[in-house]
Amino acid sequence: MFFIGVISRKNKYEVLKERIQKSCNKNKVSLININNKSISNLKNVKFDVIVILDSLEKFDFDECKNDNFKNLKEICEKTQYLLLDSDIEIKTNIFKDIKVNIITFGLNHKSSVTISSITDENIMISVQRGVRDTEGNIFEVGEYSEVINNNLANNIKEILSCFILKNIIKL
């Protein structure tokens, strides 16, 4: 069982959850929405992956709110992978000293995983840096096609993060 923590607004969390449930065995993964209300209850959970889809400041995860900041840092230090939307601004240095595999994704051309083209039926995802999966294999640099359906066409970040999850933890 893989534990995946998701820091996002509820609607983004639900889209990611729906996409993951459609593409994998539901008994293989557990998705948990991390927010400023749940963070103190989750500080002892060891997540395999943390996915950040929204600005941390929206959830009071800044250095001024010490408990939330401290709890989030502890959770991130114990995870194996951190998936970070590179198009959002993170004003804190919470990830500065964390020794985990950080994979950036988004429309930013410097992201580890980005979009090279979009059509009505699919998107071409460009993996710009090799990533080691949970089995120790390298997920190679290259372009990969991902089918999208109409109701998910506006949820590019969720599609990217699901693509990464499917390829690093073999959902």
Average pLDDT, the chain: 83
The span from the CA of 119 to the CA of 7, in Å, is: 28
Residues in CB range of 167: below 8 A, 6 or more apart: 131, 133, 139
Q: Above 60 in pLDDT, residue 127?
A: yes
40-44, 46-50, 102-106: least confidently modelled range: 40-44
Can you tell me the distance from the alpha carbon of 6 to that of 4, in angstroms, rounded to the nearest whole number? 6
Stretch 54-62: mean pLDDT: 67
User: Where does the pLDDT of residue 64 fall: very low under 50, low under 70, confident under 90, or very high at 90 and above?
Assistant: low
Tell me the average pLDDT across 29-49.
87
Average pLDDT over residues 142-167: 81
Average pLDDT over residues 58-83: 76
Question: Is the confidence at residue 154, as pLDDT, over 80?
Answer: no
pLDDT above 60 for 129: yes
Q: What is the pLDDT of residue 49?
A: 93
Which stretch of 37-46, 101-110, 140-149, 153-162 has the lowest confidence by average pLDDT?
Answer: 153-162
The whole-model pTM stands at 0.87
pLDDT value at 62 more than 90 = no
Q: Output the pLDDT for position 66.
A: 62
What's the CATH number for 2-107+151-168? 3.40.50
User: Using CA atoms, how far apart are residues 3 and 77, in angstroms rounded to an integer?
Assistant: 15
Burial class (CB in 10 A: 0-12, 13-18, 19+), 126: middle
